[in-house]
Amino acid sequence: MRFGVLGTGRITRRLVADLQSTPGASVTVLASRDAARAAWCGGQYGIARTVAGYEAVLGDPEVDAVYVALPPSLHADWAIRAAAAGKHVLCEKPLALDHAQALSIASACEAGGVRWLDATAWLHHQRTDAMLGFLRSGELGKLRHISAAMSFYNPFQAGDHRLDASLGGGCLLDIGWYTAGCAILAGGVPRRVFGETRVENGVVMRSMAMIWFDDDVTATIHCSFDAATRKWCEWAGEQASVICDDFSRPWADRPPRVWVHNRAGEVQSHSYEGSQERNMIAKLCSGDDLSGYHRQALRTQATLDAIARSSVSGTVETIQCE
């Protein structure tokens, strides 16, 4: 699958290397709004062909798929255009600004007969499969509560889109995508939520929420740009809990791992290998069914919408995702 890349931001550099090193995938062209910026980034990433403007990529016969690495406010527009042009879509997270836009992307891809994924790589790690295995095998017992937290303390350079509300900035859409998604992966269909946010200059800097699922399962999630770096989760059952201290992206200096704590106080450590990003790219390039990932993305987007509504209304909000 030959990819055209839309955007030259920080996130682009990270994933382009994985696109270039995944069997069956390659990058044929890189696009930026500025020709000089595109050429410079192409040289840095080893991409021979670069263009100014994103539209040229959509009409390129040597492009099979588009990686949308733009600010969230541009995701829906360019993902929908790519689908209409017959290109498969790999879109950075959050998938869109809201659930309605996310549904529009899904509908456009279905109409265009193309495959799509949101670039939430941790869902594709062998470790995540193992965590689900602990849950589904009954080793944890009946699931009772999920906790997830992710934060970075003011990690931005000047002009970063994550500090610009008009571009879809704020921690709720950025890293709340991970914490809400973690709860949904374990808990299933989210039903109701109560959320609070702290806003600075129109940008959500901290968000906390409680989510209710079926079968008396609950979750608490937190994300922020004003606390030290953390990315941990716990899925707690009646018999045991599985805990991960870097679920969204493994720490660079240690192997991906989880711990299972049982009710007798015994702890088992499990380590894993593999690249979640290359797994994700290979999944898009394959013929495998992607509908489960689509449901996950749409449920996550709807949950973030409901957290935002609850933060304004001060009441529990229904999550409308099914």
Residues annotated catalytic, as ranges: 93
Taken in order 222, 225, 105, 116, the sign of the CA dihedral is negative
Q: Is 317 helix (H, G, I), strand (E, B) or coil?
A: strand
Closest CA to 300 of 277, 280, 319: 319
Task: Please count the CA atoms within 13 angstroms of the CA of 110 that sit on its side-chain side.
Answer: 9
**DSSP string of 28-41, one letter each residue:** EEEEESSHHHHHHH
Amino acid at 181: G
CB 95 within 8 A of CB 117: no
- The Cα–Cα gap between 177 and 185 comes to 12
CB 72 within 8 A of CB 96: yes
How do 203-213 and 257-262 pair as beta strands? Answer: unpaired
- The Cα–Cα gap between 217 and 306 comes to 18
Task: For Cα atoms 42, 44, 46, give the angle at the middle one, nearest 5 degrees.
Answer: 60
Sequence-ordered alpha helix ranges (H) in the chain: 10-21, 35-45, 55-58, 75-84, 99-112, 126-136, 171-174, 176-187, 276-285, 291-313
CB 118 within 8 A of CB 297: yes
Residue 163 has a CB neighbour count (10 Å cut-off) of: 19
Written as six digits, the tokens of 199 are: 């806003």
- The Cα–Cα gap between 270 and 128 comes to 12
CB 118 within 8 A of CB 91: yes
With a CB cutoff of 8 Å and minimum separation 6, the contacts of 102 are 76, 95, 96, 297, 298, 301, 302
